[in-house]
Chain A
Amino acid sequence: MIYREAGQFKTTYAADQAVFSIVQDRVAVAAAVVGAFVVPPLVASEYWLQAVLIPFLVYALAAIGLNLLTGYAGQLSLGTGGFMAVGAYSAFKLATAFPHLNVLVVFVLSGLVAAGVGLVFGIPSLRIKGFYLAVATLASQFFLVWLFNKVAWFTNYASSGTITAPDRTLFGVVITGPNSAPSARYLVALGLVAVFAVIAKNLVRGRIGRSWMAIRDRDIAAEIIGVRPLRTKLLAFGISSFYCGVAGAGLVFLYLGSAETLAFDISISFLVLFMVIIGGLGSILGSFLGAAFIVLMPIVLANAPHALGLRLPVALQKQIELMVFGGLIIFFLIVEPRGLARLWQITKEKLRLWPFPH
């Protein structure tokens, strides 16, 4: 009864075009955003911030990026890890070369560098499609990671081959590096994600999003109504890589603190792809749901035997985790191939009618 749209008439196209056109949605979303900024820093333990919330936000950003490319523009990519690496190493180089540069500017610039690299690796998408393109994007994944591993300049000639986020402040508070508080890093991550999620939503509901989806759904028809495939696909590669680049910078600066190229290997590409598929292709909300699912699942799995009073050898536990993880992914794909976002939508539609379904 509470969740009702009856009596809410839209009298302008502006109201009808709004992202959340039902009052209850607007109130709930506003409450959630305010809550996300206020509650965790006050309540959450360091473990929750560091092991759950920060990685969730960083991965959500990467998932939005990949969803723009794969979910909206229909270009399957397995190169996410490579583009994240570009962002991370650019951020490291920029932050160490220009110590006085505002760290938020560093993030945006690293995103732009990643976007540039993404444009280059997006060029094959004009000629090849589908799985061929997916395999082609693996080239970027392997090449980029190899490059950062081989060329010592990228790590400032560190003998360990790792990059470490330096201490940087924002409004006088240390927000990156070894001396930063998790709550500060959380707030920065949340701010970044909130802004970029809104931008992504604006892009996909307007001119650009429609041309992406047109290319995705029927590329020939899209051309004949005037969509230029190369420009449209490259734009998707560029923007997607920008998001992945910022997420990569966030991964090192806000979450891990320091990283080697191993942090950006092929498995991270698959992980982000899982988030997008399980969350829902072509859904910004789905990117968040998918990221939450993939971040939380290993933690639940790791703690489940303990909660059940079982004591398993470490190796066995790891193997069972892998099996359950793989099994759950298949299970979810079977139950709802369109992802968690679709389940959420169905729930909402039911709720609209509840408690009088007829």
Chain B
Amino acid sequence: MLDLLYAVAVAPFRDMAGAPAFLIEVLIGGVFAGLMYSLVALGFVLIFKASGVFNFAQGVMVLFAALTLVGLLERGVPVLVALALTTVVMVALAFAIERLVLRPLVNQAHIILFMATIGLNFFLEGFGEMLWGANVKKLDIGIPDRSFIVRGVQINQLELTAAATAAVLVTVLAVFFQRTRIGRALRAVADDHEAALSIGVPLRTIWVVVWSVAGVVAIVAGLMWGAKSGVQFSLSLIALKALPVLILGGFESVPGAIVGGLIIGVGEKLGEVYWGPLVGGAIENWFAYVLALAFLLARPQGLFGEKIIERV
């Protein structure tokens, strides 16, 4: 019993203190992973904020964007042109989704829209693979996947670039939401659909815009994840990794998605490296959920949510 207590409560911290450079590497890895989670979570948040739709297809949108990009690159299209074309495809996709899925389902219960996005998930998975093939593909955008060492800490150049890109994108989106006219319109729609309509916010345009933006976020996420681990079906599963970030940060909070992503990323890496071996490893599938859940039980309104006073 004492041994167990020691293994759980003392040994991991002793290990951390014993090899600080390694600890920093783990932490940096966690921050990188966290930023990537934030990126996917952001796509969710944008769509949820503006349309109340819990978009389960966000993960497959990442896969679809990455597949499209790789497919174009393989056919010899230059990187920048391929990026532009992929953006066009994602915007077209947003139009199609608004017209064929969202518009006919307007005013339906949230769960129905959620189910529809799972249907969309299946559809896009089949469609993407039919267009571009189902093999694992290497995405090479010219950033070398090599590491350098700073004061004994190993840093991967690709991860660094990815993290920087994610950070820039997140900042841009936050500014977009807070400062621009369309961003304010988006927030109005999120607060109250009918009120927004009655003051003349064009709901359909807003939806196309957010789904397009979510599509662009998906391109960036697909680019980063794809460069790191290849473009393959499992990319669509990163949506599942972003979900704990959402319960932590709140479905409607941009800063929540960012901070939540970092907490989950770091927490998960620490858990996996220092506590994972105790239970046989491979805990990354559920550890983030349990972490988020424990947090949520203590603070049901999430990181940045205000305590809701229910009125009757």
Report which A residues bind B (CB closer than 8 A).
70, 76, 124, 127-128, 130-132, 135-136, 138-139, 142-143, 145-146, 149-150, 220-221, 224, 266, 270, 273-274, 277, 281, 315-316, 318-330, 333-334, 337
User: Given A136-B292, A270-B118, A329-B115, 15 more contacts at CB 8 Å?
Assistant: A130-B110, A131-B251, A142-B289, A143-B289, A281-B111, A316-B130, A319-B130, A320-B130, A321-B126, A323-B123, A326-B123, A329-B118, A333-B108, A333-B115, A337-B108
**B243: interface (CB < 8 Å):** yes
Cβ of A136 and Cβ of B247 under 8 Å apart? yes
Assembled-state Cα–Cα distance A318/B125 (Å): 11
Q: Mark each residue of chain B from 262 to 283: 1 if its CB lies under 8 Å from any CB of chain A, else 0.
A: 0000000000000000011011
CB-CB nearest in chain B for A328:
B119
- Knowing A76-B111, A124-B297, say if A329 contacts B129 (CB, 8 Å): no
Cβ of B285 and Cβ of A135 under 8 Å apart? no
Assembled-state Cα–Cα distance A81/B69 (Å): 34
Cβ of B285 and Cβ of A273 under 8 Å apart? no
Assembled-state Cα–Cα distance A274/B283 (Å): 28
- Knowing A135-B247, A333-B112, say if A127 contacts B296 (CB, 8 Å): yes
Assembled-state Cα–Cα distance A318/B121 (Å): 15
Chain B contact residues, majority secondary structure: helix
Assembled-state Cα–Cα distance A132/B123 (Å): 25
21 residue pairs from A and B, CB less than 8 Å apart? A128-B296, A135-B289, A136-B247, A138-B289, A139-B289, A142-B286, A143-B286, A150-B279, A220-B312, A277-B111, A316-B130, A320-B130, A322-B122, A322-B126, A322-B129, A323-B123, A326-B122, A327-B123, A329-B118, A330-B123, A337-B105
Q: Mark each residue of chain B from 32 to 59: 1 if its CB lies under 8 Å from any CB of chain A, else 0.
A: 0000000000000000000000100000
Cβ of B130 and Cβ of A323 under 8 Å apart? yes
Cβ of A326 and Cβ of B121 under 8 Å apart? yes
Assembled-state Cα–Cα distance A251/B126 (Å): 27
**B104: interface (CB < 8 Å):** yes
CB of B289 to closest CB in A, whole Å: 3
**B73: interface (CB < 8 Å):** no
**B116: interface (CB < 8 Å):** yes
**B93: interface (CB < 8 Å):** no
Cβ of B120 and Cβ of A330 under 8 Å apart? yes
Contact of A326 among B112, B126, B246, B280 (CB under 8 A): B126
Among A130, A150, A324, A337, which residue has the most Cβ atoms of chain B within 10 A?
A: A337
Assembled-state Cα–Cα distance A125/B112 (Å): 20
Q: Mark each residue of chain B from 108 to 145: 1 if its CB lies under 8 Å from any CB of chain A, else 0.
A: 11111011101111111111011000100000000000
**B101: interface (CB < 8 Å):** yes
Residue count of chain B within 8 Å CB distance of chain A: 47
**B244: interface (CB < 8 Å):** yes
Assembled-state Cα–Cα distance A266/B237 (Å): 11
Across-interface contacts of A318 in B (CB, < 8 A): 126
Cβ of A135 and Cβ of B243 under 8 Å apart? yes
Among B101, B115, B292, B300, which residue has the most Cβ atoms of chain A within 10 A?
A: B115
Across-interface contacts of A150 in B (CB, < 8 A): 279-280, 282
CB of A67 to closest CB in B, whole Å: 13
- Knowing A131-B114, A132-B247, A220-B312, say if A325 contacts B122 (CB, 8 Å): yes
**B240: interface (CB < 8 Å):** yes
Cβ of B112 and Cβ of A146 under 8 Å apart? no
Across-interface contacts of B110 in A (CB, < 8 A): 130-131
Across-interface contacts of B289 in A (CB, < 8 A): 135-136, 138-139, 142-143
CB-CB nearest in chain B for A151:
B280
Assembled-state Cα–Cα distance A138/B121 (Å): 18
Assembled-state Cα–Cα distance A138/B245 (Å): 13
Q: Mark each residue of chain B from 219 to 254: 1 if its CB lies under 8 Å from any CB of chain A, else 0.
A: 000000000000000000000100110110001000
Across-interface contacts of A334 in B (CB, < 8 A): 104-105, 116
- Knowing A131-B54, A273-B115, A322-B125, say if A330 contacts B286 (CB, 8 Å): no
Contact of B297 among A127, A145, A326 (CB under 8 A): A127
**B17: interface (CB < 8 Å):** no
Assembled-state Cα–Cα distance A76/B112 (Å): 12
**B168: interface (CB < 8 Å):** no
Assembled-state Cα–Cα distance A149/B283 (Å): 11
Contact of B240 among A143, A224, A266 (CB under 8 A): A266
Across-interface contacts of A315 in B (CB, < 8 A): 129, 134
Across-interface contacts of B285 in A (CB, < 8 A): 142, 145-146
Contact of B112 among A135, A221, A328, A337 (CB under 8 A): A337
CB-CB nearest in chain A for B112:
A337
Assembled-state Cα–Cα distance A135/B109 (Å): 18
Among B101, B122, B251, B280, which residue has the most Cβ atoms of chain A within 10 A?
A: B122
Assembled-state Cα–Cα distance A143/B134 (Å): 29
Across-interface contacts of A270 in B (CB, < 8 A): 118
CB of A145 to closest CB in B, whole Å: 8
CB-CB nearest in chain A for B237:
A266
Across-interface contacts of B104 in A (CB, < 8 A): 334
- Knowing A131-B114, A136-B247, A337-B112, say if A327 contacts B119 (CB, 8 Å): yes
5 closest A-B pairs (Cβ-Cβ)? A322-B126, A326-B122, A326-B123, A329-B119, A139-B289
Cβ of B126 and Cβ of A220 under 8 Å apart? no
CB-CB nearest in chain B for A331:
B119
**B155: interface (CB < 8 Å):** no
Assembled-state Cα–Cα distance A327/B100 (Å): 10
Contact of B244 among A135, A145, A221 (CB under 8 A): A135
CB of B205 to closest CB in A, whole Å: 21
CB-CB nearest in chain B for A277:
B115
**B306: interface (CB < 8 Å):** no
**B293: interface (CB < 8 Å):** yes
Across-interface contacts of B247 in A (CB, < 8 A): 128, 132, 135-136
Assembled-state Cα–Cα distance A213/B118 (Å): 26
Across-interface contacts of A131 in B (CB, < 8 A): 54, 110, 114, 251
